[in-house]
């Protein structure tokens, strides 16, 4: 196996890993029901809270902060699991009364409503329209002309297949 073949294999592997990570992040973001999108203007983000705590208490060791964050992640996932189990239970009851299709459609509509934001944009958040962003940077997932041309010429991965 020549160096070029090994390099190409390595690039394919890295590209596959990157695509897997992108898909994983998209799925995680789709199911993050309690994102801090609806927070009020007076509330701080987690990063701002950590910085404020470090400044006030002169914390040099951030391991304690990360352990608290990991505990809250476990609790959040447990709450999501309980929500899902409640939904499954109610769905089984709706199926028993031959109301399952209506319950499923209404659940899907509620899920869509809970995962869309109708409030104002947060400070520092990029706009969906790239002309309003610094340096006209597009947000992730935006299809631009150069990406479209790459996909037409070289396929979805954007790399040449020899």
Note the pLDDT tens digit of each residue in 22-38.
887 777 776 655 454 44
Using one digit for the tens of pLDDT, what is the confidence trace for 112-144? 988 887 778 778 777 777 777 787 777 777 777
Q: Which helix (H) or strand (E) holds 128?
A: none
pTM exceeds 0.85: no
Alpha-carbon distance values, 96 to 12, 82, 84, 99 (Å): 49, 21, 18, 7
Task: Tell me the C-alpha to C-alpha distance, in Å, between residue 107 and each of 47, 90, 122, 158.
Answer: 33, 11, 28, 38
pLDDT 10s digits, 55-114: 555 444 444 545 556 677 888 889 999 999 999 999 999 999 999 999 999 999 999 988
Give the span between the Cα atoms of 86 and 82, in whole angstroms: 6
Cβ atoms within 10 Å, residue 53: 15
């Amino acid at each position: 196996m020549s160096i070029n073949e090994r390099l190409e294999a390595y690039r394919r592997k890295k590209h596959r890993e990157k695509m897997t990570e992108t898909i994983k992040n998209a799925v995680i973001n789709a199911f993050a029901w309690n994102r801090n999108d609806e927070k009020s203007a007076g509330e701080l983000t987690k990063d701002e809270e950590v910085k404020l705590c470090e400044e006030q208490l002169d914390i040099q060791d951030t391991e304690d902060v990360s352990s608290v964050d990991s505990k809250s992640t476990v609790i959040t996932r447990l709450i999501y699991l309980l929500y899902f189990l409640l939904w499954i239970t109610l769905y089984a009851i709706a199926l028993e009364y031959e109301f399952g299709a209506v319950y499923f459609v209404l659940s899907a509509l509620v899920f869509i409503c809970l995962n869309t934001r109708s409030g104002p944009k947060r400070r520092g958040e990029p706009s969906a329209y790239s002309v309003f962003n610094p340096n006209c940077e597009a947000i992730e997932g935006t299809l631009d002309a150069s990406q479209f041309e790459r996909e037409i010429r070289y396929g979805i991965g954007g790399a040449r297949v020899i």
